[in-house]
Amino acid sequence: MKRYRYGLFFLTVILGAFALYRCFADRCPDHKEPESVRIGITLYRDDDTFINSICRILETEAKKYEKTEGIRMILDVMDAKEDQNTQNSQVDRFLALGCDVICVNMVDRSAASVIIDKAMDREVPVIFFNREPVSEDLNRWEKLFYVGANPKEEGVCQGNMIADAYDACPEILDLNGDGKVSYVILEGERGHQDSLMRTEWAVQTLKNRGVDLEKLTGGIANWQRSQADALMGQWLEKFPEQIELVLSNNDDMALGAIDTLRRLGIIRPVCVAGIDGTPAGLDAVESGLMLGTVVIDRETYGKTMMRMALSLAETGRTPEDISLERGAYFRCPSYPEIRKRKDEAPETGKIE
């Protein structure tokens, strides 16, 4: 009987101590285990200049958050090297690591359903960015989101930027004075929605503004400077005196065209226009080598994306102050940056 009483006494003491510990822990959050947030990021190609710049902003914002909030931030960044199967495997890896949120820059936008299925099974939110999945895929679940610019607005902005320059001084674009602008176009990627929309609306806007256009040729350069350089070289051989304007879907390809013009010593002041507003692109505009570029606000892009990821990881919801179209789309703002009036030929030298 005495042994029973001792056992009951010790059991009461243990239960009381446990209750006090729970109460103390609930009232003193400083005694909780250290928290962490893990975000998986897979890129279609990590040497893409624009994508790389967004990734750097995400990393900077993660470090700031870790410092101010005392929450450990883990970013797992992987390069899919333009292979969709590789990207699918990377998502499997993120899920196995216990990532709270996954950010996906799709290799093939039409293949998002495979990644969505994996994420839904584990109830892990996904933020797609820069390469927009088809709407049918994004509408499948309330924890799927897209962050990116509006390609139609970018195309319209590029067209208006060029039309403004033409209205101010037609001879800047109409080099031979025949009343029309002969152009070539560097397209980003076959079938890519941003490439298609930027091209369509830049050209249509110029026509709507009354600029008489003549398309000489165009080609796919896959967003890459080196490929644009090669294409421009071929076009200059075919149209040595006709090209007056180079329309480019992004700054890297625009810089590739400029590289060719510089290397071949072309003194005709061919106008080149880009999109993205990368540091190198802005430098080219400032120095007079590029007519202009459409600047995508990368800071807003990266910071908004990180805020969404953190909020989803911690609360399962996006921040209330971030306005989302149809509850899933954040469209990053963009604006034109055009060089000051400069009629003479560009300075010599290659843009790095």
28: number of Cβ within 10 Å: 9
- Residue entry with tokens 């400077």: 225
- pLDDT, the chain, mean: 89
Banded pLDDT at 341 (limits 50, 70, 90): low
Question: What pLDDT, on a 0 to 100 scale, did the predictor assign at position 59?
Answer: 97
3-state SS string for the chain: CHHHHHHHHHHHHHHHHHHHHHHHHHHCHHHCCCCEEEEEEEECCCCCHHHHHHHHHHHHHHHHHHHHHCCEEEEEEEECCCCHHHHHHHHHHHHHHCCCEEEECCCCHHHHHHHHHHHHHHCCCEEEECCCCCHHHHCCCCCEEEEEECHHHHHHHHHHHHHHHHHHCHHHCCCCCCCCEEEEEEECCCCCHHHHHHHHHHHHHHHHCCCCEEEEEEEECCCCHHHHHHHHHHHHHHCCCCCCEEEECCHHHHHHHHHHHHHCCCCCCCEEEEEECCHHHHHHHHCCCCCEEEEECHHHHHHHHHHHHHHHHHHCCCCCCCCCECCCEEEECEEEEECCCCCCCCCCCCCC
Model confidence pLDDT, tens digit, residues 266-290? 999 999 999 999 999 999 999 999 9
Lowest mean pLDDT among 182-186, 249-253, 336-340: 336-340
CA dihedral defined by 239, 243, 252, 282, rounded to 10 degrees?
Answer: 150
235, pLDDT greater than 80: yes
Q: Is residue 18 predicted with pLDDT exceeding 50?
A: no
Sort residue 82 into left (φ over 0), alpha (ψ -120 to 50) or beta.
Answer: left
Q: Kindly indicate the confidence band of residue 32, based on its pLDDT and cuts at 50, 70 and 90.
A: very low
Q: Model confidence at 70, in pLDDT bands (50, 70, 90)? A: very high
Mean of the pLDDT values across residues 303-318? Answer: 97
Asked if the model's pLDDT at residue 26 lies above 80, the reply is: no
For 189-218, the pLDDT digits (tens) are: 998 889 999 999 999 999 999 999 999 999
Higher pLDDT, 33 or 291: 291
pLDDT at 2 over 80: no
- Asked if residues 335 and 152 have their Cβ atoms less than 8 Å apart, the reply is no
pLDDT digits (tens, 9 = 90+) for 99-143: 999 999 999 999 999 999 999 999 999 999 999 999 999 999 999
Q: Which of 159, 131, 130 is nearest to 296 (CA)?
A: 130
Residue from 158, 92, 80 nearest 124 by CA: 92
Q: What is the token pair recorded at 202? A: 């830049």
9 pLDDT tier (thresholds 50, 70, 90): very low
Q: Which two tokens stand for residue 35?
A: 């928290």
Distances from the Cα of 42 to the Cα of 5, 132, 134, 258, angstroms: 62, 14, 18, 31
Pairing of strands 126-129, 181-187: unpaired
Residue 98's Cβ-side half-sphere holds a number of Cα atoms within 13 Å equal to 3
Position 339 confidence tier, pLDDT thresholds 50, 70, 90: confident
Write down the pTM of the prediction. 0.85
Residues sharing a CB contact under 8 Å with residue 310, sequence separation 6 or more, in sequence order: 37, 65
Residue 19: pLDDT above 90? no
